[in-house]
Structure 1
Amino acid sequence: MTLAKKSSALASACLLVVGACAQSTAPQWGQCGGIGWTGATACPSGWYCSVSNPYYSQCLQGTVTVTVTPTTSAGGGGGGGTPTTTASGGSSTLAPGYSFIRAVEDPNFHKYLQSEVLNTASDAVLGSPGTASQFQITGGQLIQNANGTPLYAVVESRANSTVMKLKMSWSTTPTTAGTFVFSGDTVEWSISTIARPQNNAWLVCPDAQGHADVYINLGPYSYQTPAGCADETIHAYTGATATARRDIDDSEN
């Protein structure tokens, strides 16, 4: 083989290698995963693949190092006795089949659904990512896994037609009034006796102690908002751990 042919073959081989590398590594800020994604899942050096929602993961700058300490949940209940792991400095690692639920609008951006008194039948609140609870919606029930014990979301009854917000709390007994569903990643609630302009409209209203109590909004979203409250929608999040990080396009997940 002549020197020219050898050089040409070497160049072709290098191009093939570069092409393979390009196909196996997503670009900076590019998609790197999600349901149905068939492209590259690795990110460039100095970048990591961040899960935004079940359908989209993105390469972001930085690195992620998580130290976990296994802890076993109490058996039975909504967790099915599934062991959980606790991330150092963060929330529990998300168990298979569960989602975190969080708000994505200010002033409650990336605050997470949980019990006011953690893992107990108490008021539903939005709180720190580090204490975020995990949830399933099954048979119309919104179920919190409270260290292996199921807690069910219940919505207070409407006293009369002038009441425009209904408080949500947690109970050890399933609800018999109203139905929870995921619409995409958004949590909705409906009941046959009340017509709502938007089934995904929620309110967050601080109580006297400053807890961010969660209410069903029976009125239109972002209109005639009760004094002291904030309009919110709340969304499933399936990242490995709860995070308060503000990513690109966080307005939608």
Structure 2
Amino acid sequence: MAYELRSLERALEILGYLATVEQATLSEVCDVCDINSTTCLRTMRVMERNGFVRRSPDGRHYLLGLRLAELGTLALGRIDIVSLIRPLVRGLTEEFRVTAHIGLLRDGMITVIDKIDSPDGFVRYSLLGTRMPMHCSGMGKAILALFWPDRLAEAGVKPPLTRFTRDTITDIDWLAADVARCAERGFSIEQEEWQPGYGCTGAAFVFNGDYYAVSLSGVVVPASELEQRGRRLSMAMREFLQKQGSSLSQTIYS
């Protein structure tokens, strides 16, 4: 039994690593996951037969398999909070002509569990299941505000902070100050910190012990316009939580 559990742990470690890269060779997987080549190859073959990993056209690299997308779609469809909040989010996309995301904190990253595109276009950098960094995304920083002031590491944020654009915050003290402002005003602001040419605002809440966030994303606009969207989003989220009563935590922001 112990061996079987270790085999499962290895498979999960491999999938976790492949989720962070576009593709990887067998030797790269072995090095990162600290697994010998024979065991790694056997594990890969089992996961490939079951659709959890697949080969690149040249056969040299491994990628995540489509079976994961199937299971992920099923899992996302069974999160009730999405159906509860979607009407509010859809209204905001129409009001501001932006794309809205609903995200869930998992393993120090934000996973997009729903997306509603703007009537005037759509944000191309995200799909369902996209993983967004905490320190430089609107949803991530909104959730970090719920961990403020002394639990940022618990949320999965610690140095070094990866740089994605020239505007990404990579200093932990600078990030802490930004999160403090987010907690004070009740919404986050992110301008070209993760994706060049885009900015967003976000707000967060807790549901059944899980941390969720909603963001409104679009092309870069003046800071005053982002703040207007943020205030509207924060107010709408508070009203939503109040209507739900005790079924949702009231910890969005005081």
Give the structure-1-normalised TM-score: 0.26
Higher helix share: 2
Q: Which has the higher strand share?
A: 1
* Bigger CA radius of gyration: 1
More relative contact order, 1 or 2 (CA 8 Å, 6+ apart): 1
